[in-house]
Amino acid sequence: MDAKRTNHRAIVKVIWDNNSKNRIGEEGGFPHLIYVSREKSPGHHHHYKAGAMNALTRVSAVMTNAPIMLNVDCDMFANDPQVVLHAMCLLLGFDDEISSGFVQVPQSFYGDLKDDPFGNKLEKLLCGFAGIQGLFYGGTGCFHRRKAIYGIEPDSIVVGREGAAGSPSYKELQFKFESSEELKESTRNIISGDMSGEPIVDISSRIEVAKEVSSCNYESGTLGWACGSMTEDILTGQRIHAAGWRSAKLETEPPAFLGCAPTGGPACLTQFKRWATGLFEILISQNNPLLQSIFKHLQFRQCLAYLTLYVWAVRGFVELCYELLVPYCLLTNQSFLPKASENCFNITLALFLTYNTYNFVEYMECGLSVRAWWNNHRMQRIISASAWLLAFFTVLLKTIGLSETVFEVTRKEKSTSDGNGQNDEVDPERFTFDASPVFIPVTALTMLNIVAITIGTWRAVFGTTEDVPGGPGISEFMSCGWLLLCLLPFVRGLVGKGSYGIPWSVKLKASLLVALFLFCSNRN
């Protein structure tokens, strides 16, 4: 077959076990695997993962039409053989189906590095979501009710508004699914709850139909995963919640699914940049949770919970402004924080200690170590000044039409737990670097703080500004030192070698930014 990666016809293969007695055409026969590669064409936008999931949803609709679907990423595997049974208990165990739009399993990782050095865990955040309208859809390890994925409201909401449970008309389905009678019929059965029809015995007889519904003609306008953002999983989950559904959290021992966590600087920051970019796209679009809360069924507290994620990119820009203010004061011999001799200094110090103490206690409640708390606190500053900041400018440039967002695949390193104990990295917990632009702003911030502390200390020791009132005090020096402590991996990277050292191309670009900041500061 003459097929190119970005230009080929739909491919559907039904794969049977050679030793299986259930063969094509025999009652009860079911294949071990159905391989699907949707049609690709340069003239169609394929919507990345959302498009792929929608193609799989349509193919499964015409082949099996199961009311429950499981979504697992390619780098994850089932670790608990009872996971499906546990999920069915949650999906079918409620008196009202509204409580079980989908069941999400929190992500767990094999070969997990001790004390989470790259800040991959969101344990407390997940518990908070689960206590409101339900956990957000994390993109993997999720059992979906097919009806909810189709964007249909729960029966109780439809009944309460219209007086009777309704389903899309034939014309609506025809508009959505074009000429596929099989797809329209399967969708009508799912929405109406009528699953009493005869099951498809010969799966292989549906191959041509499956190829039809996995073609490019169905890429837009059909029901399924929401498009329009790099974080289509979060957007899809929000749309399900906005339709009135709730979700449930499934946490088992042992963990239901295990995956591979990104390690090293490049993989970690690339993933956070992609997430922040997609979340910011949602925030400034018509899918903003505030609008969903006003005009649909998204609870207000759930709306606020989603906003804590969507403002990641904005938070990166705001934090950068604060992080630049301290070195600016040290460089220009000014002050913006209370002096140690002033009474309000105690208020500032109390706020700093209270926030970090409360944050530390939360980590203790989750059974995590002191080092895990520090690693996550440190990574928050690094991610904010790098991945989130670049996501902010990426979406900003896209909004004004100067560039387009690019989907970046996270490179995940080989785990040390695969049986051979080999790993190219001598220390997998240590921060690594490459020439990616994501390292430029945080490298420049590190250099700037080193320069600022050096100049500020020189002035303080040699008394070059004794007669100048309003100069920086201990607060500015403490803030700058605390930030440098958080950025310690980049301080080491400035003098490191190999993958542990920041490339010279990044250092040069960062140095130009520092020089520009010093020039602008001196002019003022």
Q: pLDDT tens-digit profile of 433-452?
A: 999 999 999 999 999 999 99
Lowest mean pLDDT among 22-26, 45-49, 183-187, 504-508: 22-26
Model confidence at 229: pLDDT above 60: yes
pLDDT of residue 275: 92
Place 24 in a pLDDT band, splitting at 50, 70 and 90. very low
At residue 47, the pLDDT reads 84
Query: Does the structure show a pLDDT above 70 at 421?
Result: no
Lowest mean pLDDT among 63-72, 219-228, 491-500: 219-228
Report percent pLDDT > 90 for the chain. Answer: 46
Helix axes 440-462, 504-523, angle to 10 degrees: 50
CB 91 within 8 A of CB 145: yes
pLDDT above 80 for 201: no
Residues ≥6 apart with Cβ < 8 Å to 409: none
Can you give the pLDDT at residue 377?
92
73 appears as a binding residue in the annotation: yes
How much is the average pLDDT of 285-293? 94
Phi, psi (rounded to 5 degrees) for 69: -125, 145
Burial of 237: CB neighbours in 10 Å, binned 0-12, 13-18, 19+:
buried
Least confident of 150-154, 175-179, 383-387, 428-432: 175-179
The lowest-confidence range among 120-134, 249-263, 276-290, 468-482 is 120-134
pLDDT tier for residue 235 given thresholds of 50, 70 and 90: very high
User: Is residue 176 part of an annotated ligand binding site?
Assistant: no
Q: Among residues 448, 452, 310, 315, which one has the least CA distance to residue 385?
A: 315
- The answer to which of 23-32, 219-228, 363-372 has the lowest mean pLDDT is 23-32
Q: Is the pTM of this model over 0.85?
A: yes
pLDDT of 160: 52
pLDDT in tens, 337-384: 888 888 888 999 999 999 999 999 988 888 888 998 999 999 999 999
What pLDDT, on the 0 to 100 scale, is given for residue 469? 59
> d(Cα 416, Cα 423) in Å, to the nearest integer?
6
Higher pLDDT, 264 or 58: 58
Q: Where are the domains of the chain?
A: 11-19+29-261, 307-405+430-522
Q: Is 339 exposed, middle or buried (0-12, 13-18, 19+ CB in 10 A)?
A: middle
Query: What is the fold of 11-19+29-261?
Result: Spore Coat Polysaccharide Biosynthesis Protein SpsA; Chain A (3.90.550)
Q: Residue 164: pLDDT band by 50, 70, 90 thresholds?
A: very low
pLDDT-derived band at 169, boundaries 50, 70, 90: low
% of the chain surpassing 70 pLDDT? 84
Q: Is 89 exposed, middle or buried (0-12, 13-18, 19+ CB in 10 A)?
A: middle
